[in-house]
Structure 1
């Protein structure tokens, strides 16, 4: 087993594919940890850092010295939160691999593999995403609007008090398709490239973007780098997710012949969305499943108008579980594809 997987080492791909499947199985069986979830602790620490580093939460745009200071403090806070844990994990792996090599210990290699798979399990949230989405779906199905609004607030940052059933269907599906990348497929993707340290790095960056990456007076400058860092790191994995959504979509007559049209349309639509990465995943998933997203939403008192994403009818109630199923198929498709490539190449070469 290697510390940083080599993409052109087929034996490594076999091991990595097995780790992906093991982590997905752990998520399926165990679900999200009920207590002491690392990301919850990280979020609490991020709130403390932000309270200390961001006391002036409304900086005028023309006050350039304070704008620069707010951005600088945001970068420092970001570095404090994001950098230490991936480096520590990388160092632990490095020392363990060298120890195993020096002592020719297969047991240590196995332990490293299990540890890294467990880290990946903690990073992915497929079962949690499913539970949150269905907590919206079931109340909507039975006409319990108050309960549906309550659980919609668990998944999105938009104001939920006055959401209509259509708004909640859209919010749930948008969150599933976007978080299918952020909380599931991106972690699998970066595990293949750089192992558990890169997975943790992406997950922390993505979490800080979700907390600080808003264009509000409070975070416009302080959260500037948190938003940009997530955009840069998540760029490649969103293209992977977009392709997987098309490949994993139910093979209707239309989707068989128009797969590339789904992709090209979605990528064009994403250019006008507030987040190109998120828009790319949402637009492709919606197009592949045959419905549309977009419209107006209220975020912290502001009205945000989103462009049309996808193609087909307006999102319906049944599109919530269909979107969840799409994310699940995409994750398993990716894991088995990595394993199959490794096994096939080993058999041939």
Structure 2
């Protein structure tokens, strides 16, 4: 059981004291703080965040204060390194824990490196539905696009975290904004057990605007950032193909095919937004090579969506 290994709630925080107070207030009301560890990493640094955490000292919340902003991904790595239990679950500072579901999670069998749970919007809609059994390369993006609620067996992450850190040192925008996806990709290549878990221990709270920016200071969801995301993920796949040349699990080839299909939407969104081609971004033939293997259904879906946007239908 996960309870046998211990569970830590990891909360990277960036200048959001009010929603963080709501999150920790639910922890205090439920008494779950006596059953799990909790760490908040303040990446402002922000006096308001620190004051909130100090106000919940009776809940055993540990506080890490970064002297300067180190970014979301490096803050996440820092939290993993500070974790004293074998298992950890991630929450944004504006999310809310479902305490009954956390207690159910503690009774869940362990034996996996990453567990992907249900993630619900504040209105109850399911952002991240779960499948059954193992997480495979086909679902590597749906499984990990949203970081909150993913459960990790921290000792199994050593190689994946080292790879993520190398990508960050190299200025990879995808690693800056989607560290959890990079971790899952590496774990799948290693043949680690990644599993769907039909629980929703962490769900959307106040849903504050994201402060995650790419290396150029652009919001990660902007069209130009999405196009850069394509190239960075392409580079990651090439690196993983070099690190795992025989693709022993077969998952790398599956992730490549899925990326090629998803790439059409990323690239097309950027073209529509930018209204042209940026020579620096459209380097090489990576985009066009990827589009050759796109599933026809994806092309048709994009075409239909574009017509609806254009004509309002």
TM-score, length-scaled by structure 1: 0.26
Structure (1 or 2) with the greater helix fraction? 1
Greater RCO, CA 8 A, separation 6+? 1
TM-score, length-scaled by structure 2: 0.28
Structure (1 or 2) with the greater strand fraction? 2
